[in-house]
């Protein structure tokens, strides 16, 4: 079992590195270059850096699907056509390790471990039919929803010019925050 886990992790690292090498570089908001294969970040800049294949500063749905499909196939180390949790987490870990190395960060940081735990949570959320494996269609369903949420101007591309997406609970959270402020003022 330990050999299988080591092999899976190793192949995930190789797949992550291969994807990062095939990709072009896109500028980040802070003016530094981020590899499109980056693993983390919920910012618009991280999204664009992670999926902009041609370096034009925008992400089309086709680019997103191409990257997600390549990552999926690279992570499918047993050739089953589906990802188990270990394969899914190993692929993410490979990209995360590369991101940390590129940034000169230490993988012993608590945030690194927390990111890996979160990958397991994401796997469970993406596994819509709860069969402990992730199909390509389940993964791409999530990708399409994420794209639609981020393409806020509806032009078919996610760019830095797109207004920040509004989360479903933002109005409710804002109302609750307002109520809390009023309580403190009383």
Domain of 59: which CATH number?
1.10.238.10
Strand 157-159 vs strand 58-60: parallel, antiparallel, or unpaired?
Answer: antiparallel
Alpha helices in the chain (DSSP H): 2-22, 44-51, 61-75, 85-102, 110-126, 136-150, 170-185
Contact 47, 37 (CB under 8 A): no
The pLDDT value recorded for residue 37 is 54
pLDDT band for 153, please (50, 70, 90 cuts).
Answer: very high
Q: Which of 51-60, 89-98, 141-150, 177-186 has the lowest mean pLDDT?
A: 177-186
The pLDDT value recorded for residue 39 is 78
User: Which pLDDT tens digit goes with each residue over 51-75?
Assistant: 999 999 999 999 999 999 999 999 9
What is the distance between the alpha carbons of residues 172 and 148, in angstroms, rounded to a whole number?
A: 21
Q: For residue 165, what is the DSSP state?
A: P
Alpha carbon separation from 140 to 50, 72, 135, 174, 186 (Å, rounded): 15, 10, 9, 31, 49
Q: Is residue 129 over pLDDT 50?
A: yes
The pLDDT value recorded for residue 42 is 76
Q: What is the mean pLDDT of the chain?
A: 79
Domain count, the chain: 1
Q: Which domain holds residue 99?
A: 2-185
Q: Which burial class, exposed, middle or buried, applies to 78 when counting CB atoms under 10 A from its CB (0-12, 13-18, 19+)?
A: middle
Contact 24, 63 (CB under 8 A): no
User: Which pLDDT tens digit goes with each residue over 1-50?
Assistant: 444 444 444 444 444 443 333 333 333 333 333 333 567 677 899 999 99
Q: What percent of the chain has pLDDT over 70?
A: 68
Contact 71, 15 (CB under 8 A): yes
Specify the 3-state DSSP secondary structure of 140: helix
* Apex 39 CA angle, 126 and 102, nearest 5: 170
Phi, psi for 27 (deg, rounded to 5): -70, 145
The pLDDT value recorded for residue 29 is 32
What is the distance between the alpha carbons of residues 102 and 141, in angstroms, rounded to a whole number?
A: 30
Q: What percent of the chain has pLDDT over 90?
A: 63
């Amino acid at each position: 079992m330990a050999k299988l886990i080591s092999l899976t992790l190793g192949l995930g690292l190789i797949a992550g590195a291969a994807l990062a090498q095939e990709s072009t570089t896109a500028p980040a908001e802070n003016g530094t270059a981020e590899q499109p294969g980056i693993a983390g970040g919920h910012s618009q800049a991280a999204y664009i850096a992670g999926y902009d294949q041609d370096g034009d500063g925008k992400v089309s749905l086709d680019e997103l699907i191409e990257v997600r499909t390549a990552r999926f196939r690279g992570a499918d180390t047993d050739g089953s056509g589906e990802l188990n949790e270990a394969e899914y987490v190993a692929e993410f870990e490979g990209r995360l390790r590369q991101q940390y190395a590129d940034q000169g960060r230490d993988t012993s940081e608590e945030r690194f471990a927390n990111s890996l735990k979160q990958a397991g949570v994401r796997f469970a959320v993406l596994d819509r039919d709860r069969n402990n494996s992730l199909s390509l269609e389940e993964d791409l369903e999530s990708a399409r929803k994420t794209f639609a949420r981020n393409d806020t101007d509806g032009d078919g591309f996610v760019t830095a010019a797109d207004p920040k997406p509004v989360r479903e609970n933002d109005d409710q959270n804002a109302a609750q925050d307002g109520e809390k402020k009023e309580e403190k003022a009383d």
